[in-house]
Amino acid sequence: MSLNTNTWNRLRYTLYLPVYDLIADRIFRKYRKRSVELLNAKPGDAILLLGAGTGLDLPYLKGYTNLTAIDITPGMIAKLQERAEKLHIPVNARVMNGQQLDFADNSFDAIVAHLILAVIPDPVACIKEVERVLKPGGTVMVFDKFLPDGQQPTIVRRFFNQIAGTLFSDINRSIGAIVSHTSLTIELNEPATLNGTFRLVRLRKPEL
């Protein structure tokens, strides 16, 4: 049984802190940049960075003036705040559970969700919260690893997912299945690294 809980995630990402940037930045840097470009946000838009980690997305958000960043791990938020100060980027950074967002309905014009939907214990609860706090017509950029929609994981993949899900992230989640629990629509789904195992997905909330 996977240990994927909020408590375990907070602990393991605290342990990963010394090496997190070395791994998560070098491998994914250009995809973070591409994702922010695809968000098509305006400089003054209210933008939420969900599961923001140490703030590796911040270099691509220079010029944006209304940023909020959350993560469940206090150590991650501390490093994010340090990075924001060095980059002179104003950010409202808070420790928060992505499955229970402490924001009012329709609070944000856009949301960045990088490497979170395959990690968080309950991605459906998370995406429902994303839908709730996103303004009508707002966009979400997701960058993460997903199974192709409609594909079932093999027995071998299910076995290895018990290890991956505990140490790193779930490797058997489907973005289509997750989003199907909301009114959000997938308007872009393009392959990123590892032969398309990682995807860049833009979601939109319908206008009222």
Q: Tell me, what DSSP letter sits at residue 147? A: P
Task: Choose among 136, 135, 145, 149: nearest CA to 179.
Answer: 149
**How far is the C-alpha of 167 from the C-alpha of 178, rounded, in Å?**
22
Instruction: Provide the pLDDT for residue 27.
Output: 84
Instruction: Provide the pLDDT for residue 2.
Output: 45
**How far is the C-alpha of 174 from the C-alpha of 165, rounded, in Å?**
14
User: Are 113 and 178 contacting, i.e. CB atoms less than 8 angstroms apart?
Assistant: no
Q: What is the pLDDT of residues 98-141, one digit of tens each?
A: 999 999 999 999 999 999 999 999 999 999 999 999 999 999 99
Instruction: Provide the pLDDT for residue 1.
Output: 41
User: Are 167 and 3 contacting, i.e. CB atoms less than 8 angstroms apart?
Assistant: no
CATH numbers and ranges of domains, the chain:
6-204 (3.40.50.150)
Task: Choose among 38, 208, 51: nearest CA to 135.
Answer: 208
Q: What is the pLDDT of residues 129-188, one digit of tens each?
A: 999 999 999 999 999 999 877 777 777 677 666 665 565 667 789 999 999 999 999 999
**How far is the C-alpha of 190 from the C-alpha of 176, rounded, in Å?**
13
Instruction: Provide the pLDDT for residue 23.
Output: 72
- Mean of per-residue pLDDT scores for the chain: 89
pLDDT at 24 over 90: no
Instruction: Provide the pLDDT for residue 88.
Output: 97
Instruction: Provide the pLDDT for residue 6.
Output: 74
Span 33-60, average pLDDT:
97
Our measurement of the distance from residue 70's CA atom to the centroid of its chain's CA atoms, rounded to an integer in Å, reads: 10
> What is the sign of the dihedral through the CA atoms of 49, 186, 37 and 139?
negative
Instruction: Provide the pLDDT for residue 158.
Output: 73
